[in-house]
Structure formats: structure tokens, C-alpha cells
Chain A
């Protein structure tokens, strides 16, 4: 991440400074500063909405920056953080915690998910080896994602009881509902560490813009870059899945939204993507809270997929137009 306060960074910081306080006011119970005081307003703000808002910022920043790093690493605008298979493996870990019943124990769910994500990181390293190309690395990740998806489906189909089945399916949809400071402290340290690692990968990602051979000629060490990418992505995505389930499309959409406002180097995209990801997730979660829906809140993962699919389609059509 560049340390420069560029115009997109300044605008996004200002937007976050405005939107975060406003988001705390929205929900099933509206809290307006100028209206008569709402009963339990302070606990609602401090114990419910603020941690949820902070978690949205943490996860959104992680997903946005990871998406930018993945697109830079793979030199592909269609790449997203799920491509390395870490998110599906983390989800598999979480699903197994429901399947085995351990999910009722404190911390068991995030621990299972983090183990799943960590296992994916180790397997990627072993499969791809020290001198593997980006293409081989990506294929290994796709294989892991496919395997994790199949095992998750198997766990669902063999679910021991309807309650576990419901828990698994609901959790896989991704949400920030009922998350508190506990989840913030689980996700924050690994996300920050992961973002630091991705920041360290920035110059190598810039060099990769010129292709692998030119990047190596510029002093890029493929093994170091792969380590930074796997560890950085794994920490961010694994911890995100551990506390909120699968939240898709943020890592795909956000870099596209901010890229036109940067010089297009992957490293210059990391910080604006982190900020835009945080803003997107904060706004999306806020909308999920206030959209009237019978039976509870709209799940965040569903809402983002509903918004992301048309975006992805538009992207594909644009690419088809350029290639035609």
C-alpha cells in the first residue's frame, strides 16, 4: 500500500468518516440524535452496532485489498480471493464444526475455520513447490476449492440432524448479524497481519505487470512472492470466513471500481481497495439491516451476490467487447 494520501484515498477516508457514524443509527430500531431518546440506545450502539460496523470495516478492507492483490498476482481482472481455495477450505472447516457438533463450544467455529484455511495454505505450498509458476499455483488453488466444495456438499448431504443442516446452510450464506466485539478481536489481528504481508508483496506485484520473466529479471523471487500471497490471503480470508461465513464478490468488484482512479499499478490499488471494500461492506450490511424482510435480516452474502452477479456479467461483456 502506498503511503501517499492520494485523492481516492482521501475521498474514501472522508466517506468512511461520514458513513460509519450514520450506519450506527440504522437498524430495526432507528436512533436519531435529534429525536426523543430511544430506550437502551447506548448498549445498542456500543455492544451491537459499533462492533458490527467495525467488523464490516475489517472484513471489507481485507477482502478489497486481497482482491486487488489477487488480480495483480494473476494479472487477471476476473481473479478474486477465493481462487486460491483458502475461503472454501476455511468454510469446510467451519461446516465440519457444525457437522461434528463442536460449533456450540466457544471459539470452536472460528478455530475450525482457521484450521481449514491454514491447511489450504500448507497444501498450496506443498503442491506448488518453491519454483512454481503463477499458473500452476492457481490451478492448485482451484483444485483445493473444488475439493473443499465437494466435501462441504457431502457434509451437508450427510448432515446428522435438521438443526445442523440449517446451521450449515445459514452460516454459509455469510452475515454480520449477531456478531460482536468477540468476533472483531478474532478477525482483526490476522487481517492486519495479512494486509501487512500483502503490502510487502506490492513491489513484486507491480513487477508482475510485465509478465513473469520480466518480473524475475527485476529481482522478484517467485517463492517469496507466493509465500507472501498465500500467507496474506490466507490470514485475511481465513479469519473473515471464520467470523462471518462466505462473503463473495467484494474482492472481485472493489478493485474494478477503484482502478480507474489510480495509476493502475497493483501496489497503488491495495489501499484504495481496502478502503472501498470497507465502505462497500459497511453500506451493504447497513442496507441488510434496514431492508424489511419477513423472518429476519437479508443475509449479507446473498445481498452481495445479488449485486455482484450483474456486475460480473457487465465485466464479462466489456471484456468480450474488447476481445471481439
Chain B
């Protein structure tokens, strides 16, 4: 029940990534701009092809050999852009998450209702996206992923452009998913979020993994200085730490 990259290489962006992700954990991928975080996430999702002989495996099956819909049912992907071309309402957007499934209307309905319930979207279900706040829109987009009932949720900078309260709410959703046994992988820019909320942190720089482990180890002062070129220190208690420069 793992998602694993073996010698994963995307020419010019990732080189020789070896990474095994476990379900039931929240993994944060961090690194400077251009380090390859989004490319790694896209490759783990299966939408960015890896150069041979590198590969991504889902439960020991090579991801690229799985039927696209089977892969989509297992891995839910939330892209950074949050693009929605037409002015759908919340329920219609969330229902798009059922596209890879052929489970029938009853199962689709149940999954959509569950996603709407989990994210507190029931009262917004008929509202068009252009009349949602940024936080509501982010929840609706995550609802689309959850409606697909994936075993893995991979999200690219899901907290970008959200205010502090909505960031905490979204992080709460992701942590709850991990507690339910889902594998959650988030690309994050805010190192404090990674330190305080992730079970595991993977630090990427120049397309390679430079640290991988518990947050306190992966994000120690020396690592931050080496990767980000910043002299910084952690303040506060475990789980509520802030980065001071």
C-alpha cells in the first residue's frame, strides 16, 4: 500500500529521486522556488512521465502501466492553479471527482454528499464558484478530490493565497485524511506549516532530495541555511513553532 519513486528522473528537473511514501501519513515536500517540488508531485501522480529506467510504483505496480482511470481512482491530485474554466456550482464541481468511477449513481451520490459534509460545503452546494470566497473555493476544489475517494491525496501548494484561518482549516482537513488512513502529500512553501503539521518532511533542492525525515531533523537550522541560504532558528514549543530570521 505504498507510493514509491525509484530512480525517478525528469530531464532537467528531477534526478534520481528515491522515495517511498506510506499511507496514513502527512508528508510535506518543501524546497526553494524551482527546486522541482511540483514536478515531483506531478510525477508521483503519474501525469509527468518519468525517464527510463526510473519509475513510480503504486502498491508494487508501475504507475505508467496502470489504466488511467484506475490510477485516477487511487490518486487524487489537486493542482496549484485551481483553474475552473466554467462557472460551475459547488456540487457540480465536486461531482467531477467521480469521473474516473463507474460505480453507479447511488455510489456517486453518496461520495459527493460525504465530500460536501466533510468540508462543510452543504450550504454552498448550489452556489456558483464566482460567488465563493477564496477559502470556500479552496474547500470546493479539495471536495472535488475527496469525492473521488482516493487512497492518496497529492496537493500542490494548497494553502497558497489563503488567509491564516483558512490555512489552518485546510491543514485540519489534510490531517484528518491522514488519520483516516489516506496518504497525504503536500507541496508547501511555509516551513512552519511543514514543521508543525507534517509527519514527514522531504526537502528538495536542484531536483534532488537533500533531506527526508521527521520535521525537526529535515528542517534543522543547518539545512535551512544550506538550502534556502537563510540564518534562521525555530522558536516556540513542538507543534507550535515559528521560524525567526
Give chain B's interface residue range (CB within 8 Å of chain A).
20 to 34
A214, closest chain B residue (CB): B79
B144 touches A210 (CB 8 A): yes
- Tell me whether B71 is interfacial, beta carbon within 8 Å: yes
Are A213 and B79 touching (Cβ within 8 A)?
yes
- Which A192-220 residues sit within 8 Å CB-CB of chain B? 203, 206-211, 213-214, 216-220
Q: Which of B84-113 contact A (CB under 8 A)?
A: 84-89, 92, 96-97, 99-100
- Interface of B (DSSP majority class): mixed
The smallest beta-carbon distance between B244 and chain A, in angstroms, is: 36
CB-CB under 8 A from A207, the residues of chain B are 96, 99
**B88 neighbours in A (Cβ, 8 Å):** 209, 263-265
CA distance A281 to B124 in the complex (A): 39
Which of A209, A219, A220 has the largest number of chain B CB atoms within 10 A?
A: A219
Q: Which of B77, B81, B86, B99 contacts A203 (CB 8 A)?
A: B99
Would you give the 0/1 interface string for A203-239, flagging 1 where the beta carbon is closer than 8 Å to chain B? 1001111110110111111000000000000000000
CB-CB nearest in chain B for A216: B47
A75 at the interface (CB under 8 A from B): yes
A266 to B87, CA, bound (A): 11
Residue picked from B72, B81, B144, most chain A C-beta under 10 Å: B72
- Bitwise interface map of B from 35 to 77 toward A, beta carbon under 8 Å scored 1, else 0: 0000000100111000000000000000000011111110111
Does B72 contact A209, Cβ atoms closer than 8 Å? no
Q: Do A219 and B71 touch (CB < 8 A)? A: yes
Given contacts A216-B47, A264-B88, is CB(A210)–CB(B76) below 8 Å? no
Residue of A210, A211, A218 touching B100 (CB-CB under 8 A):
A218
B237 at interface by CB-CB < 8 Å: no
Q: Are B99 and A219 in contact (CB under 8 A)?
A: yes
Q: What are the 5 A-B residue pairs with the smallest beta carbon separation, nearest first? A: A217-B77, A219-B72, A75-B85, A219-B69, A219-B68
